[in-house]
């Protein structure tokens, strides 16, 4: 550990432990379940501590400077002050869509902590859902996100104070896309730990878009954990859009569990951010599941993005596909670590893994490590990784047609990225992300363009999107 | 239109073109023939502006300007078109998007407004007919998965879209069957005008049955060793290149 940061890291650890004790002492709304979970998580954190580069899973991502910052840690919903109305005002015409907002990690309830949508889907605050649906909550909470697996998972579990809860009952097709907007708005450095739980009943369908948004903030550290259960024959389309500023650090962990015959399509688009680590864990528990995991990262300057993916084929006849592509500019660094595990009984597994990167400068770095571990004998698996530059022959070909060099480069980068964007199944979202990627590659995208909704009232609304038409 | 004087070109310190001179006037079609490895494709690439080739001496004047000082894309916008011997595949960039960008960038260079989507599509439809190119090809990525013949037709299609002043076709006939060859030749003939010119690089006299040249040059060891009328091509077809080697050794 680098000298000089040590004190800061010790301070954060002590702060977190003290804050957790405070939460545990305040047992007013606890029925015992969550208290046990928190205690277990805290014990685990005390044992594991924060990740360091000495750990294989964190070899290429250094959180030292992030952990050494002095953050405010909330143990209850902070006073939100005057801003709330203003933040949302510009979106009034969108609010009748299934928009869910987290402000600094806390559910913004608009007077309704849980609401049931006309289609039957329940969306609301995790804290409220714990009390309103204890059986459902306890059957799913903490099942996937193993607190023993890592210090940051553990510390998230030690709080688990709030976040988003989505429940789609059996056979229900969620009518509109549910969109989670995670807003950071603070005058102080803050560390937040949202905890989300998404449950799809048998044969249900949900499209979920998850955006991160900063309005006004100092340095922030987000350590989020999401658990997503996809019941038998259910279908989940999950999109995550990250466009944070360079002072932010974000560790997101999403744990998906798929029951038999279910389908998951996950797309993670990283357009900007200081340090980003995305853990994606997909457990294929029942036969006949299909999981498509797509990712696109466009990083420059000193940015760092790390995608760690684990696909666990536990049952036969499942298909998983990973396609992650990245363009790395300046001194930025990207890490891809994809691991596919095929259990002994998971016969007739098809698993594909592909990571492709373009390095635009000599100082840009990518660490890519596709990895297969197969214990079944009747499987089709492939993995591959490429790191390259833009094809100079193609560049010449385009310029020989009169296309300027910068435009040629842009077209090629855009084409490279389009491969991932074209997998987005919600048409307006695809169109939107397409536009954002285009602008990002042209260097025109600002960090204000955080999400599909572009909430910032100070700016003219550049992106016209009507979620009603989804 | 194009005046090349005593051109010397090297690549990786190896001299490929050794004192080449060539004059091309508006309204002319020049054929450049010659055995493999004599610098034909190098000449084409140097005119188009490929940077790997180093011009060590000599000059190329195009429309009274020093061509060698112009960037690749500027040359294209000034009307130089290279039909590639091996057209490059560009995965993910659709033909339509590629052509629209090229047409509009060239228009921008000339101070013209970009074509609207409908104007562009109308132009594309008209030019597609000229080269008998199938609609599905323009929906695909540039040259990706195109057959050899489709790639060459696609070069002519792009030429038709961009309406160059000086088009250099680098072995556009190679690998083509007779029907495709006719399509390519018809495309070129349809685009011939008094104010433009073509340089057709080929190994075979066959193409010149369809694209009748005004002047035929024989390039050998980096120099033009013989220049004549269209009958020179027939002579070469009959005698091969061996007699050249003998008379120049």
| pLDDT higher than 60, residue B100 | yes
Residue A51 lies in a domain: no
Q: Work out the minimum CA distance from B238 to partner chain A, whole angstroms.
A: 36
Please give the Cα distance from A128 to A136 (Å, whole number): 12
Q: Check if the beta carbon of residue A287 is closer than 8 Å to that of residue A260.
A: yes
Residue A48 lies in a domain: no
Segment A245-260, tens digit of pLDDT: 777 899 999 999 999 9
| pLDDT higher than 50, residue A463 | no
3-state secondary structure of A338: strand
Q: What percentage of residues in chain A have a pLDDT greater than 90?
A: 59
Please give the Cα distance from A9 to A6 (Å, whole number): 5
Q: What is the DSSP letter of A60?
A: T
B73 vs A403, A414, A416: nearest CB: A403
Q: Work out the minimum CA distance from A396 to partner chain B, whole angstroms.
A: 7
What residues contact residue A171 under an 8 Å CB cut-off, 6+ apart? Answer: A201, A202, A203, A204
Domain extent, residue A136, equals 75-469
Q: Report the b/e string of A404-418 with b at 16+ CB within 10 A.
A: beebbbbbbbbbbbb
* Residue whose C-alpha is closest to residue A403's, from B72, B152, B120: B72
Segment B224-236, tens digit of pLDDT: 999 999 888 888 8
Residue A186 lies in a domain: yes
pLDDT, residue B14, reads 92
CATH class, domain B2-88+149-248, is alpha beta
- Residue of A356, A358, A395, A400 to mutate when probing chain B, most B C-beta within 10 A: A400
- Residue of B88, B97, B109, B115 to mutate when probing chain A, most A C-beta within 10 A: B88
Segment A350-407, tens digit of pLDDT: 999 999 999 999 999 999 998 899 999 999 999 999 998 888 999 999 999 999 998 8
Q: What percentage of residues in chain B have a pLDDT greater than 90?
A: 63
B101 vs A394, A405, A411: nearest CB: A411
Question: Which residues in B have their CB inside 8 Å of a CB on A?
Answer: 48-51, 71-73, 75-77, 81-82, 84, 87-93, 97-98, 101-102, 105-106, 109, 141-142, 158, 162
Please give the Cα distance from B139 to B232 (Å, whole number): 42
What residues contact residue A224 under an 8 Å CB cut-off, 6+ apart? Answer: A156, A163, A182, A192, A193, A194, A195, A196, A250, A251, A252, A253
Residue A37 lies in a domain: no
Residue A83 lies in a domain: yes
Please give the Cα distance from A386 to A416 (Å, whole number): 13
- Confidence label for A217 from pLDDT (cuts 50, 70 and 90): low
Minimal-distance CA residue of chain B relative to A396: B50
What residues contact residue A453 under an 8 Å CB cut-off, 6+ apart? Answer: A91, A94, A99, A179, A181, A211, A465
From chain A, pick out residues whose CB is under 8 angstroms from the CB of B101.
403, 407, 411
Segment B117-157, tens digit of pLDDT: 899 999 999 898 888 777 777 788 999 989 888 899 999 99
Rounding to the nearest 10 degrees, give the CA dihedral for residues A445, A447, A452, A454: -110
pLDDT, residue A185, reads 77
Distance, CA of B98 to chain centre = 19
Interval B51-79 mean pLDDT? 95
Please give the Cα distance from A42 to A151 (Å, whole number): 9
From chain B, pick out residues whose CB is under 8 angstroms from the CB of A397.
84, 87-88, 90, 142
pLDDT, residue B92, reads 85
Q: Work out the minimum CA distance from B73 to partner chain A, whole angstroms.
A: 4
- Confidence label for B91 from pLDDT (cuts 50, 70 and 90): confident
Minimal-distance CA residue of chain B relative to A397: B88
DSSP states of chain B as a string? -EEEEEEEEEETTEEEEEEEEEEE-TT-EEEEE--TTSSHHHHHHHHHT-TTSEEEEEEEEETTEEGGGS-HHHHHHTTEEEE-SSPPPEEEEEHHHHHHHHHHHHHHHTTPPPPPHHHHHHHHHHHHHHHT--HHHHHSEETTT--HHHHHHHHHHHHHHH--SEEEEESTTTT--HHHHHHHHHHHHHH--TT-EEEEE-S-THHHHHS--SEEEEEETTEEEEEE-THHHHHHHHH-SHHHHHHH-
| pLDDT higher than 90, residue B89 | yes
Question: Which residues in A have their CB inside 8 Å of a CB on B?
Answer: 391, 393-394, 396-405, 407, 411-412, 414-416, 418-419
Q: Check if the beta carbon of residue A342 is closer than 8 Å to that of residue A380.
A: no
Q: Judge if ipTM > 0.85.
A: yes
DSSP states of A399-444 as a string? HTTT--HHHHHHHHHHHHHHHHHTT--SHHHHHHHHHHHHHHHTT-
Half-sphere exposure of B79 (CA within 13 A, CB side): 15
* Residue whose C-alpha is closest to residue B225's, from B87, B77, B39, B67: B39
What residues contact residue A387 under an 8 Å CB cut-off, 6+ apart? Answer: A357, A358, A359, A366, A368
From chain A, pick out residues whose CB is under 8 angstroms from the CB of B71.
399, 405
CB contact under 8 A, A415 and B105: no
pLDDT, residue A445, reads 66
Segment A159-193, tens digit of pLDDT: 999 999 999 999 999 888 898 888 887 788 999 99
Distance, CA of A459 to chain centre = 26
From chain B, pick out residues whose CB is under 8 angstroms from the CB of A399.
49, 71-73, 76
| pLDDT higher than 70, residue A57 | yes
What residue ranges do the domains of chain B occupy?
Answer: 2-88+149-248
Half-sphere exposure of A420 (CA within 13 A, CB side): 29
pLDDT, residue A242, reads 85
CB contact under 8 A, B162 and A403: no
pLDDT, residue A97, reads 60
Helical (H) or strand (E) element with A374: strand A365-374
Please give the Cα distance from A422 to B247 (Å, whole number): 61
How many separate domains does chain A show?
1
Q: Which backbone phi and psi does A425 adopt, to 5 degrees? A: -90, -20
Q: Check if the beta carbon of residue B91 is closer than 8 Å to that of residue B177.
A: no
Q: Work out the minimum CA distance from B63 to partner chain A, whole angstroms.
A: 17
């Amino acid at each position: 550990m680098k000298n000089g940061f040590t004190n800061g890291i010790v301070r954060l650890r002590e702060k977190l432990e003290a804050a957790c004790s405070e939460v545990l002492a305040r047992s007013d709304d606890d029925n015992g379940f969550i208290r046990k979970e928190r205690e277990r998580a805290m014990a685990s954190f005390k044992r594991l501590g924060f990740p360091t580069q000495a750990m294989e899973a964190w070899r290429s991502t250094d959180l030292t400077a992030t952990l050494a910052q002095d953050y405010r840690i909330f143990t209850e919903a902070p006073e939100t002050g005057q801003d709330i109305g203003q933040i949302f005002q510009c979106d009034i015409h969108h609010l009748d869509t299934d928009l869910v907002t987290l402000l600094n990690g806390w559910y913004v309830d608009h007077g309704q902590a849980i609401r049931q949508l006309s289609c039957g889907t329940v969306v609301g605050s995790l804290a409220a859902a714990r009390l309103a649906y204890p059986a459902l909550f306890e059957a799913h909470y903490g099942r996937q996100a193993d607190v023993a697996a890592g210090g940051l998972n553990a510390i998230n579990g030690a709080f688990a104070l709030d976040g988003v809860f989505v429940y789609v009952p059996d056979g229900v097709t969620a009518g509109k896309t549910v969109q989670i907007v995670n807003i950071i708005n603070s005058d102080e450095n803050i560390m937040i730990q949202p905890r989300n739980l998404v449950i799809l009943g048998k044969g249900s369908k949900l499209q979920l878009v998850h955006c991160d948004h900063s309005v006004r903030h100092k340095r922030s550290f987000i350590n989020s954990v999401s658990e997503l259960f996809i019941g038998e024959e259910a279908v989940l389309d999950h999109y995550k859009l990250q466009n944070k500023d360079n002072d932010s650090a974000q560790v997101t962990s999403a744990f998906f569990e798929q029951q038999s015959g279910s389908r998951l399509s996950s797309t993670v688009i990283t357009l900007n951010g200081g340090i980003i680590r995305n853990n994606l864990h997909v457990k294929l528990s029942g036969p006949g599941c299909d999981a498509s995991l797509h990712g696109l990262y466009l990083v420059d300057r000193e940015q760092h993005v790390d995608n760690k993916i684990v696909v666990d084929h536990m049952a036969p006849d499942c298909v998983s596909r990973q396609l992650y592509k990245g363009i790395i500019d300046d001194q930025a660094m990207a890490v891809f670590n994809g691991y596919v595990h095929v259990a002994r009984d998971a016969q007739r597994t098809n698993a594909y893994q592909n990571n492709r990167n373009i390095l635009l400068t000599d100082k840009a770095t990518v660490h890519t490590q596709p990895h297969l571990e197969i214990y079944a004998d009747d499987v089709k698996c492939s993995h591959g990784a490429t790191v390259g530059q833009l094809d100079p022959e193609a560049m010449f070909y385009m310029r020989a047609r009169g296309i300027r060099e910068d435009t040629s480069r842009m077209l090629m980068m855009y084409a490279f990225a389009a491969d991932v964007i074209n997998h987005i199944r919600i048409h307006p979202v695809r169109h939107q992300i397409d536009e954002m990627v285009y602008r990002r590659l042209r260097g025109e995208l600002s960090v204000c363009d955080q999400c599909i909704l572009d909430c910032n009232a100070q700016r003219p609304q550049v992106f016209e999107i009507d979620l009603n038409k989804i | 239109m194009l005046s090349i004087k005593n051109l010397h070109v090297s690549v990786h310190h190896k001299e490929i073109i050794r004192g080449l001179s060539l004059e091309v006037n508006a309204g002319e079609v020049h054929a450049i023939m010659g055995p493999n490895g004599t610098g034909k494709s190098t000449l084409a690439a140097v005119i188009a502006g490929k940077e790997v080739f180093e011009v060590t001496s000599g000059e190329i004047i195009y429309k009274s300007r020093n061509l060698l000082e112009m960037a690749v894309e500027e040359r294209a916008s000034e009307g130089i078109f290279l039909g590639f011997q091996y057209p490059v595949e560009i995965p993910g960039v659709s033909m339509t998007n590629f052509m629209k960008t090229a047409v509009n960038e060239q228009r921008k260079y000339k101070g013209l407004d970009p074509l609207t989507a409908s104007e562009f599509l109308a132009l594309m439809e008209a030019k597609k007919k000229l080269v008998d190119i199938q609609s599905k090809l323009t929906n695909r990525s540039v040259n990706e998965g195109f057959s050899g013949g489709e790639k060459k037709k696609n070069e002519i299609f792009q030429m038709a879209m961009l309406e160059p002043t000086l088009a250099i076709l680098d072995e556009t006939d190679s690998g083509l069957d007779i029907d495709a060859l006719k399509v390519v030749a018809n495309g070129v003939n349809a685009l011939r005008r008094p104010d433009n010119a073509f340089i057709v690089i080929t190994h075979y006299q066959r193409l010149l049955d369809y694209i009748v040249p005004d002047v035929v040059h024989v390039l050998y060891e980096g120099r033009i060793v013989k220049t004549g009328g269209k009958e020179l091509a027939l002579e070469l077809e009959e005698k091969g290149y061996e007699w050249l080697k003998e008379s120049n050794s």
